[in-house]
Structure 1
Amino acid sequence: MDVWSYFEGKPEIFAALVALLVGVGAVLGAKIQANGGRDQAAAAREAAKIAAEAQHVAALWTVRQVQVAEYMQRVREVERLIERLYTEDSSNGELEARLGEAEQAMDQKQAELELIASEAVVEAAMKLREAVWHARSYAVKTGPLRYAQLVIYIQMDSDDPGDVAIAQQAREAVEELHAAKRQGNRMEIERAHRQARVALCEVEAITNDLASSALPKFAENGWLLEQDSGQFSLLRKMETLVSAAREMLRSEDNVAPTVPPQRRWWRRAA
């Protein structure tokens, strides 16, 4: 006897079975639909998390790029002002005041950089700051002397023999001052100082204030100075910072910043 023969003459049993099968199908359908909804919700949450992390990485990358660029700009502004100490009359103090303000702005940017950049970039920035300090200190110490030398050299290259003689006399006077300083004879130092002042002020572009600023430097150092201005070290430290920043920003990758690979929702169930 097959199944269909069994249900012949028993319509009430067949109807109950059909109803039972329909109910089971409805329950299974509802369960499948519910599970699908939960899976979709989990996938949506995972996608939102990945998007949020991507936005965070992109924002961090942008902030780092801006902070490093602004810090480098501040350093280069300080460097430009340092170089001007050698080529301009800074005896009135205005250039040094501007240099001090530029250094404060640079230090502010360095502090901001230390909060956001990688350890390698922070270390490179600190070493660059040390090089800036050295170059700045040397420039403040010897800038007036260097500028006075520049003015004297320019006049020594003049077509006027009289101007050349005045410039040469100024150079010889400061060399005599340095020699007297080394001997340590007070009276001789005072005499040489007076003569050097007169000789310097006779040079067309040297003012009394510049002569006052340069004479102590000439007395201490003479005409020739050591060339350790710190400019070369400053350049090397800047190159180190640029390299560290490019590595932090993945500049060689030529791609947008990415989020580390994420575990998908269907793998977490395992």
Structure 2
Amino acid sequence: MRTQISGTTRLYVVLGDPVTQVQSPGLMNPLFARLGIDAVLVPVHARPAHLAQVFGGLRCAGNVDGIFVTVPHKVAVVALADRRSPTVEITGSANALRREADGSWYAENFDGLGFVTGLVDAGHNPKGRRVALVGAGGAGSAIAAALLAAGADRLSVCDPDTAKLAGLRARLDAHWPDRTVISAEPRVDGAGIVVNATPLGLRPDDPLPFRPEALPSGIVVADIIMKPRQTRLLREAAALGHRVHYGIHMLDGQLDSYRAFFGLGDDYQIEGCDVPGADLP
């Protein structure tokens, strides 16, 4: 059922650059219709130089209730929020903000929880396993925290930005001491799961984030890119006999959390991911 737009319709937006790849409207708008909620989610293309201006305009619009955030804004948007969840404080990134009753904006991040939920549902539980994560940006930092909270035995995080890496490891070590190693290049030795948490793969001519032929046999290759579903990385990994895990699972795993966070369902509580302070008011 298509949502009928009227003067009473509440607005939700997803901010990104680009936005052609976003999948959340296709999940949230049918949810609004199914629940009989007079609301709609639309993409808003905001370039980095205009993010603060666009966000400022949205927070002043009285009928905007929520903002979803995708690449490359998940880190930058944290500074624009009035309040931040413990998960956001740990990861330094956010992918959802809601308008509070007093008009302030509260930031949360469900990327990590959604990714781990999707991983477990697909039969790839990270508990007790070694995981290699490529990319320490907004989504990558959230996934790193969620993997450790889910019991990953050892996490190797790589990113060419060494300052960003060091900051992330310090925040992770404060909650999960000595379980994270960092490097500028991917380290997959002994890993049972390797994750691409970079934007590489959004475009057909993107280079690979790592070489699938260098991966050990039996490894699970996961990508967080949702469109295209079959990235070059996953296609080449599957051709080599590796098990692959698609990006759309991360969004599927967040849907119930979004519904609760925005007051569209049960009381808001993160379950199944023991992040310190994750049970929020």
TM bucket normalised to smaller: under 0.3
Task: Calculate the TM-score normalised by the size of structure 1.
Answer: 0.23
> Comparing both structures, which one devotes a greater share of its residues to strand?
2
**Greater Rg, structure 1 or structure 2?**
1
Task: Calculate the TM-score normalised by the size of structure 2.
Answer: 0.22
